[in-house]
Amino acid sequence: MDTQRKKGVLEICVLALLQREPSYGYRIVRDISPYIEVSESTLYPILRRLEAGDCVSTFSQEHNGRLRKYYRIEPQGKEKVRQFLSEAEEMRRIYQFVEEESK
């Protein structure tokens, strides 16, 4: 997959995951990697960008005597997921067209 496109898709995956409940770096990688290839090092810039764009906010919670950073989805992030889903139908039609024409 093209890098830019993959970054966009990864952002959406992270946001989708966070809709269920806030999560932290290590768990996000584990939860998403069955569906899309992601590493700790690719996740960082994505989380940073989502945070900078107010799509997620962060808070710290104590765990085993240290602080763990949690990411929580914000209204802007939810809007992004909604937008992605609303475009999915359009994309499906385009894929179908491309597929048909490629037969």
Q: Which of 35, 36, 69, 79 binds another protein (CB under 8 A)?
A: 69
Give the Cβ contact number of residue 36 at 10 Å: 13
Residue 90 to residues 1, 41, 47, Cα–Cα distance (Å): 20, 32, 27
**Binding to another protein by residue 49, rule CB under 8 A?**
yes
Strands, DSSP E only, in 8-78?
23-24, 56-63, 66-73
Q: Which of 25, 31, 57, 78 binds another protein (CB under 8 A)?
A: 25
Q: Which of 20, 21, 34, 39 binds another protein (CB under 8 A)?
A: 39
Beta bridge partners of 29: none
Residues in contact with another protein by CB under 8 A are: 4-5, 7-8, 24-27, 39-41, 44-45, 47-49, 52, 64, 66, 68-69, 83-84, 87, 91, 94
